[in-house]
Structure 1
Amino acid sequence: MNRLRLLGQKHVRVQFSTAAALLAPLLLVLLAMLFIPLVVLAAMGLRGADGALTLDNYLAVLVNPRYRNGLLTSIGLASAVTTATLVASTTLAYTVVRDQPPATALIRALLTFPLSFPGIVVGFMTIILFGRTGALPALTQQLVGVPLLQIAYTLPGLFVAYLYFEIPRITLALAEAIEQVDARYEAAARTLGARPVQVFVLVLLPLLRSALISSSALAFATSMGAFGTAYTLAQRITILPIQIYDAYTVSFEFELASAMAVVLGLITMVALGVYRAAVGSAYQQQEQ
């Protein structure tokens, strides 16, 4: 018996060693692709125009009004998009999962539709709808004699465009989370006399805490780093991703662009870390 056990343990060790040997090159490549660019960017951000080490580039992102405004605008825009996305997505996900309207299948299909579009396409769609000669301004011109909603190249237009690709993603994630919640909790609350709003706010939302936190972090990180849509629409808007692009390709300030990229990367990495922690917490709760 002991011999069989030893043979079994040896077989497991051999399998583990083989798997480790096969995965090691892949892991090394992935780590190199992840960390080498970050190290290079961080090092370039520490280099001044004369090649000497300096923190001026990083300080410029926080102190220079131009770049500080871009950073704050990006954070404000991402925060507003995240808040609006959570409100809309939670309501829509609850309606699809719990109310199950007749068009549930169609709604789910429509929610997956925007996920296939790259950001630049979303930007052009926003221009078609809200541009100076867009469909909605033309419609309001016919109805009230004034072209309204010409917001494509403004911050509200960028806000609407971000909502277009954030709401479907977060709605589908929250719908899956709501499906995991036992509906008997809500039924028990209704039996005790709770109104629908009370059931939603006091029963369901606390049970969705981890999902809401992870969805918030994901929406924030995506909005902070979005480039294609911003590049199409942000002609008169100062946000950090566009400033990085301009510094690198227009003014050739590679060191400053690297510093801004590192700051943006750190912010999104923190947000994604919150996302991962919330997802792990939700998984542990399901296991329990």
Structure 2
Amino acid sequence: MDTENLLTIGAFAARTRLSAKALRLYDRLGLLTPAYVDDVSGYRYYRADQSERARLVALLRRLDMPLARIAEIVELEEEQEGERAADEVAAYWAAVEERLARQRALVDYLRARLSGRSSEVYGKFEIETVDVPEQWVLTQRRHVLADELPLWIGASLGRLEEAARECGGVAGAPFVAYHSEVSLESDGPAEACVPVADGAAARAWAAGQGRAWEIRACREPARRLVYTRISKAQVANPQIHAVFEAVEAWIAREGLEVAGPCREVYFADWDAAGPEDLVCDVAFPVR
């Protein structure tokens, strides 16, 4: 092949500000295949118009994007699916920001815990009380470890909300009650709960279809809750334990007594919320 109009790997590296090592890696992964490879010498040659793809790969790598995802975006861009490629970049970065927000909350928790300044963390939370009337709920209880908890909560609340359609509809914010500690070593149990409008229908549904899913219908008595409101980023182990501890400390200072399992009350659309959006109340029943 005539290589006169092609660029050597060194010249192409200089033009794209990528190292020859990076170009060889992108070749192996199929991200940026040379226009020609000499069978005898193994030298790689590139067309000048490949520089745009090379620069796009380099820019995406600066976001610490996995190479497999870069390949998908580059292919979309070359197929003139620019809007879809842009949406993929936006989705990737939204996930990064959510992870960083969770890690930032974890750093704050760990710094306070390790330095013995937990009381400073507690002071960041605004504690309130609310009276919740008696209600009927569909519930599902499971022994579950902390790393399994987010997936189980989503699946269980989704199942209960679907069942609630047969019971007059959802009548309040779904919540998860913790009957014992849930951590990497302790498995609760935890109980997902969805308030429903029609208690009689809930009892009938639970006695029939609900038995296959171990779903029960229960009457939740009227309660006074002490709670604080937290962001999506704060709803994660282990930093959420600081939130529970803050509410417990407030209850003790006020001379109140915990009167039931602590709970997380999900009052916002979890999927639509950003990492800093308020989505959950960490609450304790008291008397």
Taking structure 1 as the reference length, the TM-score comes to 0.22
If each structure's strand is expressed as a fraction of its own residues, which one has the higher value?
A: 2
Query: Greater helix percent: which structure?
Result: 1
- Which of the pair has more CA radius of gyration? 2
Compare relative contact order (CA 8 Å, sep 6+) and give the higher one, 1 or 2: 1
